[in-house]
Amino acid sequence: MPTSIKEMLAAANASVPRISHEEAAALVAQGNALVLDVRDPPELAADGKIAGAVNVSRGMLEFRADPESPYHDPAFDRNRTVILYCASGGRSALAGKSLQDLGYRDVRNLGAFKEWVENGGSVERA
């Protein structure tokens, strides 16, 4: 069992595949992927989010993802591909590992929102 955040991140990164912005765009184009932004509201307000992404702050993820939770978000479906991102890739890796632990089978880590923007990815602003 990991005993530090460094070890937790290493385990999450080993378990959740990292994908490129091209791979993410292709999965989104197929129409069955949930793009999940795990950043906090002030980050969204400042920078926007990937067009069509669902925002769930990292602290609420398990509550939104678990169908048995009173806070469940119906956008979450264990049969969908889930593509996560955050500011740098750390929170999205940890979130991806948590989703795997909750029974999500196809979870991918896009990593940093900044990389999506720098590569011309579509962004929506509030």
pLDDT tens digit sequence for 100-115: 999 999 999 999 999 9
**Measured between alpha carbons, how far is 87 from 114 in angstroms, rounded to an integer?**
7
User: What type of residue sits at position 98?
Assistant: S
Do residues 92 and 12 touch, judged by C-beta distance below 8 A? no
**pLDDT value at residue 57:** 96
| pLDDT range class, residue 17, cuts 50, 70, 90 | very high
Distance between CA atoms of 36 and 32, rounded to whole angstroms?
13
Q: Exposed/middle/buried for 53, CB within 10 Å: 0-12, 13-18, 19+?
A: buried
pLDDT in tens, 31-72: 989 999 999 999 999 999 999 999 999 999 999 999 999 999
Q: Please state, in angstroms and rounded to a whole number, the distance separating the CA atoms of residues 118 and 85.
A: 14
Give the alpha-carbon dihedral of 100, 112, 10, 69, to 10 degrees: -30
Residue with tokens 């378990």: 15
- Please tell me whether residue 107 adopts helix, strand or coil conformation: strand
Give the domain extent around 13.
5-124
- The CATH number given to whatever domain includes residue 34 is 3.40.250.10
pTM score, whole prediction: 0.94
The domain total for the chain is: 1
